Structure 1
C-alpha cells in the first residue's frame, strides 16, 4: 500500500504530521497516534449473522503495519476503542500482528468499547491508561466539555466521536469526509477503522479543520 502525503501542522511548538490513513505522527516523540480502531467489530457483526467482508480486519492491520514501516515510530498510542467488544476470533489476528513488532512500545488509553480483560493486553506488552499526560498533550478517549477543558492539565488529544466534515458542491451534492478537528484546547481525531461511521461536527470560528481525502489531508477551515 502507498502511504499518501502527510500534512504538517505545528501545535504548541510540536510538529504533527496528519496522515491520510487517519493517524497523527508526533515528530518530537516519534509517536504514532490513532483513535477508534475497533478491531473485532467485523467478527462481532458476523457472529450476529450480519454479512460483513471477512478481510476488513486484516486490511486495518495491514494499514497499521504500513504506517509503522513508513514512519518507524518508537511508540504507538491508541486513543481508545482498540477492540470493539468482547473476545472473538479477530483477537488471534491481533496477536499475530503484535508479534511482528515486539520492540514497539504500545499504549492504550482505554475507551468505552475496551471491555476485554486487562490481562489480555498486558500479555501482549501493551500499557493501559485511563488518561496519559505527555506534555503538552493530555491523551484521552472521550472529548471534554468546555468547563472541564479549563481544568485539563494539557491540550487534549482524543477520539470517540468519529468526526466528519460536511462539504457541499455547486450541484447540491454533499459528502461527509473524516476529519481532524483542532479547537483551542482540544483536538478530536478521525476513527482509524474502516468499519466505522462518522458524524458531521459543528466547528467554531477558532477551529482548524483538516478533511481526509484518499491520498492527502487538506485544511478547509
Structure 2
C-alpha cells in the first residue's frame, strides 16, 4: 500500500467517495475499476486474459494462472457493486485466439460474473473479432449521457471520455521508498483507466503518450489496496 504522508499525498480518497468527470459522479474503486452509481454501471479496462498462455505459446514460460486471478478480482468488484451493466473497455483478451484458450474453470468464472447483468465488450486492439461464444454485446465504443467510453483515448482534446489502452502507472518516492503503482489519470475532463489484468504491466504517466493527453495539470489516482491515493502529476517521477 502507498504510505500516506503530508508531504507527498494531496488527498487520500475512500473507496466509496465520488469522483467528478464532466457532469457525471463516479466512484474510483480501490481495485482499479470505475463505478457509475446513477447508471449502475461498472467499468473495467485491459483484462488481457490469457496473456500467460499467449507467452507460453511463444516459448516464454509464465505461471498459467493470470486469467483465473484477473477474473477472481473482477468477480470481487462485481460483488461489491452489483452493477446492472458491466462495460469492459477493450483488450479483454491478450490476442485474437485468447478466448479459445479459456479453461473450463475460467469460463465458469466469466459466466458467473456475467449472469443477471448486461455485459458490453468494447473492442480493443488485441481482442478477438467477433468475441466467440461468450455472450454479451460487442461495441466499438459506448456513449451514455455526458460520457464516451472507448478503448483508445482520442488524440484530440475531449470532455467526458473514459478510455483504457495505456495502462497508466505512477512512480513515487515516499519516506525513502520507491513505489510504482497502477493509477487512474485524469484532469476532470477525461480519464484513462488502469489495466486490471494480472499480467498487464503499465506505462508511466510522465510518458508523452499519457501526459500528452492533458493540456494542463492532471492527477494520478493510485490504486492502493484499501484506498485510492491522489497525487498531482508533477509530484510523480519518470521511470529511470
Question: TM > 0.5 between the two?
Answer: yes
Q: Note the 1:7-22 alignment, pairs <5 A.
A: 7-22=17-32
Q: CA offset at residue 170 of structure 1?
A: 5.2
Whole-Å Cα distance in 1 between the matches of residues 195 and 88 of structure 2? 11
Which of residues 73, 76, 79 is equivalent to 1:69?
79
In structure 2, the partner of 1:96 is 108
In structure 1, the partner of 2:58 is 48
Q: CA offset at residue 119 of structure 1?
A: 5.3
Greater relative contact order, per chain length (Cα 8 Å cut-off, separation 6+): 2
Q: CA offset at residue 91 of structure 1?
A: 5.8
User: TM (normalized to structure 2)?
Assistant: 0.79
The 8 Å contact of residues 183 and 223 in structure 2, kept in 1 or not, is answered as yes
Q: CA offset at residue 216 of structure 1?
A: 1.3
Runs (4+) of structure 1 exceeding 4 A deviation are 91-94
User: What SS does the corresponding residue of 2:90 show, helix, strand or coil?
Assistant: coil
Whole-Å Cα distance in 2 between the matches of residues 119 and 188 of structure 1? 24
User: What SS does the corresponding residue of 2:197 show, helix, strand or coil?
Assistant: coil
Q: Note the 1:72-221 alignment, pairs <5 A.
A: 72-87=82-97, 88-90=100-102, 92-100=104-112, 101-114=114-127, 116-118=128-130, 120=132, 123-145=133-155, 148-150=156-158, 155-169=160-174, 171=176, 173-202=177-206, 203=211, 205-221=216-232
Equivalent pairs, count: 209
- Closer, same or farther: CA 170–95 of 1 in aligned 2, 3 Å: closer
Whole-Å Cα distance in 1 between the matches of residues 172 and 50 of structure 2? 31
Root mean square deviation, CA, Å:
2.1
Whole-Å Cα distance in 1 between the matches of residues 190 and 73 of structure 2? 26
- Closer, same or farther: CA 91–106 of 1 in aligned 2, 3 Å: farther
What are structure 1's unaligned runs of at least 5 residues?
Answer: none
Q: Note the 1:18-29 alignment, pairs <5 A.
A: 18-29=28-39
